[in-house]
A and B are shown apart, each in its own frame.
Chain A
Amino acid sequence: MAKQLIVGAEAIKAKGWFGAYKWLILRRISQLSILGLFLLPVLPGRLSESTGGFFASFWNSLLDQWPSLEGMWVVKGNLAASMTLDVLPLTDPHILLQAIFAGVEPHRDAIIGVIIVIGFYLLVSGRVYCSWVCPVNMVTDAASWLRRKLGIKSSARITRSTRYWMLGLTLVLPLVTGSIVWELFNPVSMLFRGIVFGLGTAWVLVLSVFLFDLLVSKDGWCGRLCPVGAFYSLLGTKSPLRVVATKREACDDCMDCFAVCPEAQVIKPALKGESKGIGPVILSSNCTNCGRCIDVCAKDVFNFGSRFSGVEMNKVSGTAGQQHNPG
C-alpha cells in the first residue's frame, strides 16, 4: 500500500527526475504540439527585417518563393481530417470507415490521407495514437495519477474486450441509421475539436470520462471502452516498433511498471515469461508504446526496440538463455 504512493521513487533516485519522466515529457510535448499546430494562427505576411533580424529575412525569402504562404493555416481541420500547409492530407481511418458504412464515397485527398495514417500506425503501432496524439490521454492519465495518489482501489469489473464490442457498435450504427452516430458522443474527437473550434458543453463529457476513470473503473475509458483505441489497436498487431524487456532478468519485482501501465496485462508475458519460453518483446497490440514502464523502471529493464529483437534469444532462452544475457 505504501509502495503504491511512491511509484517511480526508485527510478527518480537512480536516473534523476528527467530520466524518470523522459518519455512522459516527450509524449506531453507531442500531444500539446499537435494541438498547437491546429491552433496556430494564419501565417504572417512580410516581416520588418530591421526588427525581426535573421528570422524575418528568412521568412521574407520563403514568401518570395511561395507567396501563397501568407495568410495560410499551418494545419487546417482536426483529427478527423486535416490538411497541412495545403499539401499533406491526413484522415482518421476509424471515422472514414464509419462514413463509408453510412454510404460515402471518399475523395482523393481523404483516401491519400487515410493511406498515410494507416501506413504510419502500421509501422509505429496503432495505439501510439492513444498515447502520443489523443488529447483524452492527458485526462485519463491525470485520473490514473490521482487514483494512485488517493489510493483508490475499487474498480468496476468491465472486461477489456468491451472496447471491441464498442468498436463493432460504432460500425453497425452508421449501417443501420445512415448517420455517423458515434461522432455525437466520441469524447476523443469532441475534446480535440472543442479545443480547436470551440468546446461548448463538451467539457461535461470530458469531466465524466475523468470521473469514470477515477472513481468507477481503473483505466476504464482508454483501456476498456474506447472504440477509437480499439480500432487503432487492430492496426498495431504486426507493427515493428515495440517495447522490449531487454534486461528482464534485472527486474527486482518492484511492480512500479504494473502500477503506471494503462494496459498492465500486456507486461507480464514479456517480463515474466522467460521460464515459459516467451520472448522479451511486448507483443500485445494494446500496448500503447507510451514508454512509462521505461521511465519508471530503476533497473532499466525496458527499452524501445523492434518486435524482432530477441527472437533468437527467444529460441535459446529455453535452453541456455541466461548465458547470453550480460548482467
Chain B
Amino acid sequence: MSDSGKDKTRTVNRRQFMGDMLKTACGVGLMGVGLGFYANKADSLPAMAIRPPGALPEDEFLGACIRCGLCVRDCPYDILKLGQLGDDVPTGTPYFTSRTGPCEMCVDIPCIPVCPTNALDHSLTEIKDARMGLAVLVDQESCIAFLGLRCEVCFNICPIRGEAISLEYQHNDRSGKHALFIPVVHSDACTGCGLCEKACILEEAAIKIFPMHLAKGELGRHYRIGWDEKDKAGKSLVTPDIEHQYNLPEGVRYDLQGKGLIFESEGSDELPISSNPLDTLNRGLEDK
C-alpha cells in the first residue's frame, strides 16, 4: 500500500489516508452501535439468577464487575457460577440459583472482600443486612400449609428463624376445627439467601427467591397511612367529629359502638316502652 503511492503526489496519499481512516472509523462506529444495543439486551438478568451478597444494583453491578471469578473461588460452598456465553446471565458475571445451591450465609462473607472493584460492596459486613433478593410464597395453591397440612420446612430452615419467615395461624375452613400454619415472609429481615426455596418439599418450590425489583411493591411516595401519622403526631390530624346528638325519648340514651340503646329508668321498674314489641303493635291497634 505504501509502496504503490510512492511516486504519486502527496495529496493522493492524503486523500487515500483520510478515506481509509473514515472507512475504519465508520466501520468501528457502526460496530459500536451494534455492540451497544446487543449489550443492552444481553445485560438483562433472568429472575432465577441471584447475585452474591453485597452486589450493587444490577446496572451499577454490570459497570463494576470485571468478571474475574474471585468470588466464585472464595465461596466455601461452591454455589457461585459465572455466566457463560449462551446463558441468559450476562457473560462472566457471578450468580447462584437458590433452588439448587442457595447462599449459606457465612458470617465472614468471604466472597465480598476479594472483589477487586467493589461490585460486591465491601461496606456490607453483616450478612443479615444482605439483600440478595426476597423470598416470596408464590404459589398458595400448591403450598401444603394452605391445605391445612403441617410442613413449616421453610420456616424452620430459615437462618433468621422467626423473623424473616413467621407462621400465621388461620382458621381451617375445610375441617372447621383445625388451624392453617401459614408461612409469611417479612422483607425487613429476609436476606434472599434461598435456603427456603432449596428446602421446599414440593416438586417445584412454592416459595421462591425473586430479585427485589420483581418481589417488592412500593406505595406512592405521597401516600400517608392515617393511623401511623396519628401516632406520630400524637393526636388526630383532622378536626374531631362533633359528638352526635340523638333525638330520643326521655330516659333513653344511645351509646355508639357500645351497649347501644340504654334505658335510664328513674327508680321505677316501668319502662317507657314495653320490652315486648307486640305490645307496641297491639297498642297501636287499640288506639284506633
Interface residues of A (CB under 8 A from B): 73, 76-78, 80-83, 89, 91-92, 95-96, 98-99, 102-107, 109-110, 113, 158-159, 161-162, 165-166, 168-169, 172-174, 176-185, 189-190, 193-194, 196-202, 204-205
Known: A178-B60, A193-B69, A193-B92. A185 touches B115 (CB 8 A): no
A291 to chain B minimum Cβ distance, whole angstroms, is 26
> Is the Cβ of B70 less than 8 Å from the Cβ of A77?
yes
Contact in complex: A81, B118 (CB < 8 Å) = no
Alpha-carbon distance between A113 and B117 when the two chains are bound, in angstroms: 12
Q: Are B38 and A184 in contact (CB under 8 A)?
A: yes
A165 to B258, CA, bound (A): 83
| Contact, CB under 8 Å: B36 / A99 | no
A196 to B42, CA, bound (A): 22
B63 within 8 A of A: yes
| CB of B28 to closest CB in A, whole Å | 4
A178-B63, A194-B84 as given contacts; A78 in contact with B68, CB under 8 Å: yes
Complex: how many Å from CA A8 to CA B142?
Answer: 72
Q: How far is A166 from B74 in the complex, measured between Cα atoms in Å?
A: 34
A181 nearest CB neighbor, chain B only:
B39
Smallest CB separation, A173 vs chain B (Å)? 6
Does B66 lie within 8 Å of A95, measured CB to CB?
Answer: yes
Task: Tell whether, in the assembled complex, residue A177 and residue B69 are in contact, meaning their CB atoms are under 8 Å apart.
Answer: no
Chain B, 127-169, contact with A by CB distance < 8 Å: what is the 0/1 string?
A: 0000000000000000000000000000000000000000000
Contact flags B260-272 to A (C-beta < 8 A → 1, else 0): 0000000000000
The residue from A95, A103, A174, A204 contacting B60, defined by CB atoms under 8 A apart: A103
A201-B68 Cα distance, complex, nearest whole Å: 19
| Known contacts A81-B70, A96-B117; is-contact A189 B84 (Cβ 8 Å) | no
A76 touches B70 (CB 8 A): yes
Chain A residues closer than 8 Å to B114, beta-carbon distance: 76, 83, 109
Contact between A80 and B73, CB atoms less than 8 A apart: no
Residues of A near B118 (CB, < 8 A) are 104-107
Task: Tell whether A102 pairs with B91 under 8 Å between CB atoms, given A96-B117, A173-B35, A197-B72.
Answer: no
On whether the beta carbons of B82 and A197 are closer than 8 Å, the reply is yes
Q: How many residues of B contact A (CB 8 A)?
A: 46
Q: In the bound complex, do residue B90 and residue A109 qualify as a contact, i.e. CB atoms below 8 Å apart?
A: no
Instruction: Given the known inter-chain contacts A159-B24, A179-B43, please indicate yes or no for A77 contacting B68, CB distance below 8 A.
Output: yes
7 other A-B residue contacts (CB within 8 Å) besides A103-B63, A185-B35: A77-B73, A107-B118, A158-B24, A162-B27, A178-B60, A178-B63, A179-B62
| Bound CA span A168–B21, Å | 14
Distance from B57 Cβ to chain A, minimum over Cβ atoms (Å): 11
Q: Does B253 contact A (CB under 8 A)?
A: no
- From A99, A177, A190, give the contact of B117 (CB < 8 A): A99
Nearest B residue to A185 via CB reads B35
In the bound complex, CA of A201 to CA of B83 (Å):
11
16 A–B contacts, CB within 8 A, in A order: A83-B114, A99-B66, A107-B115, A107-B118, A165-B25, A166-B28, A173-B36, A173-B39, A177-B39, A177-B40, A178-B60, A178-B62, A184-B38, A193-B82, A202-B85, A204-B85
Contacts of B39 in A (CB 8 A): 173, 177, 179, 181, 184
Give the distance in Å from the alpha carbon of A4 to the alpha carbon of B118 in the complex: 52
Name the residue in B35, B68, B115, B116 with the highest tally of chain A Cβ atoms < 10 Å from its Cβ.
B116
Which residue in chain B gives the minimum CB-CB distance to A81? B68
Question: What chain A residues lie within 8 Å of B43 (beta carbons)?
Answer: 179, 184
- Which of A102, A162, A200 sits near B24, CB closer than 8 Å? A162
Q: Are B59 and A178 in contact (CB under 8 A)?
A: yes
Q: Which residues of A contact B29 (CB under 8 A)?
A: 169
Q: Which of A109, A189, A198, A201 contacts B116 (CB 8 A)?
A: A109
> What chain B residues lie within 8 Å of A168 (beta carbons)?
28
Chain A proximity mask over B2-26: 1 for CB below 8 Å, otherwise 0: 0000000000000000001100110
A106 and B117 form a contact (CB under 8 A): yes
Most chain B C-beta atoms within 10 Å of own C-beta, residue among A174, A178, A205: A178
Q: List 7 tightest A-B contacts by C-beta distance, closest first.
A: A200-B84, A102-B63, A201-B86, A110-B116, A81-B68, A76-B73, A165-B28
A162–B119 CA distance with the chains assembled, in angstroms:
32
| Residue B200, interface by CB 8 Å | no
Verify if B251 is at the interface (C-beta below 8 Å from A). no
Q: Which residues of B contact A205 (CB under 8 A)?
A: 85
Inter-chain contacts of A180 with B (CB < 8 A) = 62-63, 65-67
CB of A173 within 8 A of CB of B32, answer yes
